[in-house]
Amino acid sequence: MRLLRALLRSASPGSIPQQVDFYSRFSPSPLSMKQFLDFGSENACEKTSFMFLRQELPVRLANIMKEISLLPDNLLKTPSVQLVQSWYVQSLQEILDFKDKSSEDSGAIHSFTDTVIKIRNRHNDVIPTMAQGVTEYKESFGIDPVTSQNVQYFLDRFYMSRISIRMLLNQHSLLFGGKINPAHPKHIGSIDPSCNVVEVIRDGYESAKRLCDLYYMSSPELILEELNAKSPGQPMQVVYVPSHLYHMVFELFKNAMRATMEHNADRCIYPPIHVHVTLGNEDLTVKMSDHGGGVPMRKIDRLFNYMYSTAPRPRVETSRATPLAGFGYGLPISRLYAQYFQGDLKLYSLEGYGTDAVIYIKALSTESIERLPVYNKAAWKHYKANHEADDWCVPSSEPKDMTTFRSI
């Protein structure tokens, strides 16, 4: 709390609250995968990136900072949420310091790149730290349905905003930070123009398999089938961010392996996990099927609920720790990664048998456009409106005894 107040006091000319109000009046500018690719591969210009980011980053930061301020007071007062707020205030101030710098000043442009890298590193632990704040709030004050709904709405938007901001920071720092990853020389920043989907899936499987072997001393095999309906006989490739796809499939493999091992523990025979990958004219689809017993229909939505996790409270240390271990955020964050470029992630379960998880990705880079939250009257109303009673009747656990019914 003291750190946040100090940052707000020191943020002088046109103080931060006024700057947040100003920049939140503008809507973020979503970019397509093709725009990211074209800029990075054909006319990558540090000056152009500098001029765009010094305008766009404050808009994206301010839009979500306005929504943070609408959270319940007791959630805002938790140390973890205060810390996240202080990071956003500091980062916004550091970007605004370049607002009036000349785009012809090479020193300013170089300094801006250093600042972008510093901001990216500062925000490494935003997801687990915000999750810690929600856990602190839940333990101290409990959760009512209205608060749960508002927090779910906020976290989906907050984490999507964080993914988008990190995408911009990564692209600039990887393109102009002076370091090229020798393992991926053809990548345009974090984007692979020819992302080998099957290879990423196998990498995700091997990583999850190592964890499963450590914990259960065994693991299900992988059976992978692919169909390139768009270009038969050709490799399955799309323009995509491999780290996003890896995050999704790794999380799904972990869940599928755990369910398979525990559901089949008595038989000690572990059915394989089947993955089907298809590439059509519009979509690339990955379907992962397990024989892990499935979950009841009523619990499917809970798997994507940030407030529902029953896992024990983990310790937040550094970004090098196992990501999101214990918070139960793996599936909802994975769905956001899929939705970020207009795809999706869905679960279909057969209770008693197993679960199908399906990832949808746009096959065309022109249609893979950022999905960004914007702060406006509709968003404000969502936090302030009183949630009325449902307009469908709620089934009683004890149905009415019709033998005692009287007509009016």
DSSP per-residue codes, 339-361: HHTT-EEEEEEETTTEEEEEEEE
Query: Structure tokens of 26?
Result: 């503008």
Distance CA 306, CA 294 (A): 20
Nearest-10 crossing angle of helices 197-216, 242-263? 40
Q: Determine the residue type at 146.
A: V
CB 172 within 8 A of CB 116: yes
What pairs with residue 286 in β-bridges? Answer: 277, 359
Query: Structure tokens of 75?
Result: 């959630």
Distance CA 98, CA 113 (A): 11
Indicate which residues carry an active-site annotation: 247, 251, 254-255
Nearest-10 crossing angle of helices 79-96, 46-68? 150
Give the count of beta carbons closer than 10 Å to the beta carbon of residue 8: 15
402 contact partners, CB below 8 Å, separation of at least 6: none
H or E stretch covering 246: helix 242-263
